[in-house]
Amino acid sequence: MPLNFPTAPQERGRNALEVPAYEVNYGVVPNVQLHLVLPLTASFAPMGGPTNFGMGDTELGAKVRFVKETKRVPRLASSPSSSCPAATRTRASAWHNWYRMPLWLQKSWGPEDRQWTSYGGGGEW
């Protein structure tokens, strides 16, 4: 399942970059994987203004597969996640929570050595 890093905070006239990020994924039981993302964030002001570095907003989530893919049935999974604001209020943090609740479908077909896969999904943010 795809995992998207949270969008770095942006303020009028500033650019932000979240890199590097430390990511941990841990399978707790079959078909369930927990994940944690800890990004370092830099916020740049234009025209040589101040640059802020700091811990970005932490992402917590789980990846859950509900239905395993078979010859006729697609895989069905979800990866709900949310953010926790950084401990210190700086311009490196968006300083607000967000939540995602996506639903993903995936289906593969063809011989194993030349297999085609199609997937997609959507959800609420």
Nearest-angstrom CA–CA distance, 45 and 40: 17
pLDDT at 98 over 90: no
What's the rounded Cα separation, in Å, for the pair 70 and 85?
A: 40
Domain ranges, ordered by start, for the chain: 15-93+101-124
Q: What global pTM score does this model have?
A: 0.67
26 pLDDT above the threshold of 90: yes
What's residue 1's pLDDT? 39
For every residue of the chain, which 3-state class applies, written as one string?
A: CCCCCCCCCCCCCCEEEEEEEEEEEEEEECCEEEEEEEEEEEEECCCCCCEEEEECCEEEEEEEEEECCCCCCCEEEECCEEEECCCCCCCCCCCCCCEEEEEEEEEEECCHHHCEEEEEEEEEC
pLDDT tens-digit map of 29-58: 999 999 999 888 877 777 777 777 788 888
The rounded percent of the chain whose pLDDT value lies above 90 is: 46
